[in-house]
């Protein structure tokens, strides 16, 4: 059974907690994780890049000069890709970079990523401190007490409130997520995973369904 260190909201270690085996003791399929990460990155691409072909650039009405007798190379249009200001040959066009992956495969990849984090001892269970107003200093001091201030941290909550977001967004290497939106890329892009108790419970419900 996988275990994780447990901390109180003020940064004091209170022992260990058993992690659900279905999530943190699953098969680590590296290729499946790679597919999930690649899918996520490809879906972030907008695909709006475009260059003008010779049919779209301005100009090209008449032949620049006569075919023979000038001593210069033959030219039929000033929109040719060979000319400055002409169209681009085989340039990029708008396209959809989106990739698909079935739900079962995505779920197994996420479980594999969670298991990989648990096997290296990089999972912590801790709730965020209760704050009346956003305070970045409080968050930074808490991470320092836990000993992860110099690592890339992903903090997963049941619901990320405005106070938590504003308190953590200016800290380098610290990212927050909600259980229902957690993805494999975010897990593989962090060095330490911190789960709130409510976030762990909702994540378990999500992946056990």
**pLDDT tens for each residue of 72-91:** 999 999 999 999 999 999 99
| Bridge partners of residue 16, in order along the sequence | 5
| Bridge partners of residue 156, in order along the sequence | 177, 195
**pLDDT tens for each residue of 179-195:** 999 999 999 999 999 99
Q: Which CATH architecture does the domain made up of 3-46+99-208 adopt? A: 3-Layer(aba) Sandwich (3.40)
The token duo for 169 is 């967004």
Would you give the end-to-end CA distance of the chain in angstroms? Answer: 21
- Residue 106 CA to residue 192 CA, distance in Å, equals 21
Locate CATH 3.40.1370.10 in the chain. Answer: 3-46+99-208
CB 153 within 8 A of CB 174: yes
- Residue 117 CA to residue 87 CA, distance in Å, equals 50
**pLDDT tens for each residue of 39-77:** 999 999 999 999 999 999 998 889 999 999 999 999 999
């Amino acid at each position: 059974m996988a275990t994780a260190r447990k901390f109180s909201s003020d940064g004091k270690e209170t022992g260990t907690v058993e992690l659900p085996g279905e999530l943190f003791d699953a098969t680590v399929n590296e290729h499946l994780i790679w597919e999930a990460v690649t899918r996520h990155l490809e879906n972030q691409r907008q695909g709006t890049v475009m260059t003008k072909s010779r049919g779209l650039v301005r100009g090209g009405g008449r032949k620049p000069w006569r075919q023979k007798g000038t001593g210069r190379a033959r030219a039929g249009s000033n929109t040719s890709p060979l000319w400055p200001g002409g169209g681009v040959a085989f340039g990029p066009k708008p396209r959809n970079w989106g990739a698909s992956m079935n739900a079962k495969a995505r779920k197994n990849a996420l479980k594999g990523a969670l298991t990989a984090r648990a096997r290296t001892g990089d999972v912590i269970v801790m709730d965020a401190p209760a704050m009346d107003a956003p305070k970045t200093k409080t968050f930074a001091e808490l991470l320092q007490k836990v000993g992860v201030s110099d690592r890339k941290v992903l903090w997963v909550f049941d619901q990320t409130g405005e106070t938590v977001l504003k308190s953590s967004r200016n800290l380098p290497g610290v990212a927050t997520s909600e259980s229902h939106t957690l993805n494999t890329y975010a897990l593989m892009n962090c060095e330490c995973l911190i789960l709130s108790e409510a976030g762990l419970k909702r994540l378990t419900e999500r992946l056990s369904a």
